[in-house]
Amino acid sequence: QVRLVESGGGLVQPGGSLRLSCVASGIDVSPYALNWYRQTPGNKRELVASIGGDESNYYEDFVGGRFILSRANAKKMVSLHMNSLKEEDTATYSCHIPMDSGPVWGQGTQVTVSS
């Protein structure tokens, strides 16, 4: 069974930084894109960033150069370094693998940006 477990969320002041991590089990992640999404209550889940199996990165426009996505296939891990956080970044962040058999989601980790 494939599982994703996120960690690293928490409360941070505007302008601060957090590092989110997602560790997979039950799968060799190396061929897959690894994605981070976020969702706020009442809103649709939105893509934040994606890193391909070739380590090519994609970031949504709202990231604005503030986040860095990286992967470590040997550790089955994807990390999202978030800098210059804004209150509007407050959300539940989830990692995602688009497997051929269907998408796999983690349970999410809450990020709250507030003074």
What is the DSSP code (8-state) at residue 60?
A: -
What is the DSSP code (8-state) at residue 61?
A: G
Long-range contacts of 68-74 (CB under 8 A, 24+ apart): 69/36, 71/29, 71/34, 73/28, 73/29, 73/30
Helix, strand, coil content of the chain in percent (nearest 5): 10, 55, 40
Tens of pLDDT along the chain (115 residues)? 999 999 999 999 999 999 999 999 999 999 999 999 999 989 999 999 999 999 999 999 999 999 999 999 999 999 999 999 999 999 999 999 999 899 999 999 999 999 9
